[in-house]
């Protein structure tokens, strides 16, 4: 299973979104798009129309992280718009199995996220319907927060579930991922790494993406 870096544009210059995505295109594997609705989280970013227009302007597959209420209604639309992966929060979902089925039917990878206070065991029943588990390592809503080491056992457990499923379920980590923390995430079993401020606060975001991948690979190879 490859290690994938998915830079988050949350801390990029959102007035120049397509240009900011282009800055990481050479080295990133995915582009992580944080959709926030001011209900599920106390912050507001962008929605379907912006995601849809961005998808047409980059070669990177869109990794949509929906921090929104009522994902049952909205998640499939992001898949229909051409996202490669759509993540919804289990805390907001009424019928998570159906959401996964709808996302897959529209041609995207289906993914479920858990907030720091949510037990990882909630995804166990969902495993046959999932392509990725997202373990949040900060409270969702804002970039630039500190990585919560207490979430590492959840990453270990998510990887255990992924192995047990016998299918190719990815384990993504999001929040406070940088050169100092990414090795621990990789050792714990994550294989998809979201990094926002670590990438976009750097002078050369594309270089940081490569550096992060190198550190993660080194952490996995012993």
- The residues assigned a catalytic role are 34, 174
d(CA 124, CA 114): 12
Question: Using the rule CB under 5 A, is 20 a contact of Zn ion?
Answer: no
Q: With contacts defined by CB under 6 A, how many residues of the chain interact with ligand DX5?
A: 22
CB of 201 to ligand DX5, least distance (A): 8
**Which x/- pattern, by CB under 5 A, does the window 34-63 give for Zn ion?**
x-----------------------------
**Which x/- pattern, by CB under 6 A, does the window 23-42 give for ligand DX5?**
---------x-x--------
Burial label, 21 (beta-carbon count in 10 A; 0-12, 13-18, 19+): buried
Residue of 174, 178, 195, 213 interacting with Zn ion (CB under 5 A)? 174
**Which x/- pattern, by CB under 6 A, does the window 158-197 give for ligand DX5?**
----------------xxxx----------------xxxx
CB of 3 to Zn ion, least distance (A): 18
Strands 170-174 and 192-195 come out as: parallel
**Which x/- pattern, by CB under 6 A, does the window 191-210 give for ligand DX5?**
---xxxxx------------
Q: How far is CA 217 from the centre of its chain?
A: 19
Helix spans in 106-178 (H): 152-165
Element (H, E) at 195: strand 192-195
Cβ proximity to ligand DX5, 64 vs 126, nearer residue:
64
The counts of H helices and E strands in the chain are 8, 8
Footprint on residues 44-83 left by ligand DX5 (CB under 6 A): 65
CB of 40 to ligand DX5, least distance (A): 10
Question: Using the rule CB under 6 A, is 140 a contact of ligand DX5?
Answer: yes
Q: What is the DSSP letter of 11?
A: G
d(CA 34, CA 218): 28
* CA dihedral over 75, 85, 64, 195, signed as positive or negative: positive
Residue of 3, 40, 65, 83 interacting with Zn ion (CB under 5 A)? 65
Q: 53 Cβ partners below 8 Å, 6+ apart?
A: none
Residue of 61, 143, 189, 205 interacting with ligand DX5 (CB under 6 A)? 143
Instruction: Starting at the earlier edge strand, list the strands of the sheet with 170-174.
Output: 4-7, 192-195, 170-174, 132-136, 109-114, 85-89, 62-67, 31-36
Give the residues lining the site for Zn ion (CB under 5 A): 34, 65, 174
Give the residues lining the site for ligand DX5 (CB under 6 A): 8, 10-11, 32, 34, 65, 138, 140-145, 174-177, 194-198
């Amino acid at each position: 299973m490859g290690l994938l870096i998915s830079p988050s544009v949350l801390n990029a210059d959102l007035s120049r979104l397509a240009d900011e995505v282009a800055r990481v295109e050479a080295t990133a594997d995915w582009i992580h798009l944080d959709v926030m609705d001011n209900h599920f989280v106390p912050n507001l970013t962008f929605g379907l129309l912006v995601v849809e227009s961005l998808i047409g302007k980059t070669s990177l597959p869109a990794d949509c992280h929906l921090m929104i209420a009522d994902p049952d209604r909205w998640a499939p639309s992001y898949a229909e718009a051409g996202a490669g992966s759509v993540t919804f929060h289990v805390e907001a979902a009424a019928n998570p199995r159906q959401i996964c089925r709808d996302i897959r039917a529209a041609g995207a990878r289906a993914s479920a996220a858990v907030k720091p206070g949510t037990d990882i065991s909630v995804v166990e029943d969902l495993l046959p319907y999932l392509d990725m588990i997202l373990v949040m390592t900060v409270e969702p809503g804002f970039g630039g927060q500190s990585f919560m080491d207490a979430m590492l056992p959840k990453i270990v457990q998510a990887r255990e579930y992924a192995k047990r499923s016998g299918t190719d379920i990815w384990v993504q980590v999001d929040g406070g991922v940088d050169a100092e923390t990414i090795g621990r995430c990789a050792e714990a079993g994550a294989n998809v790494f979201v990094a926002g401020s670590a990438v976009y606060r750097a002078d050369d975001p594309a270089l940081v993406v490569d550096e992060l991948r190198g550190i993660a690979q080194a952490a996995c190879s012993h």
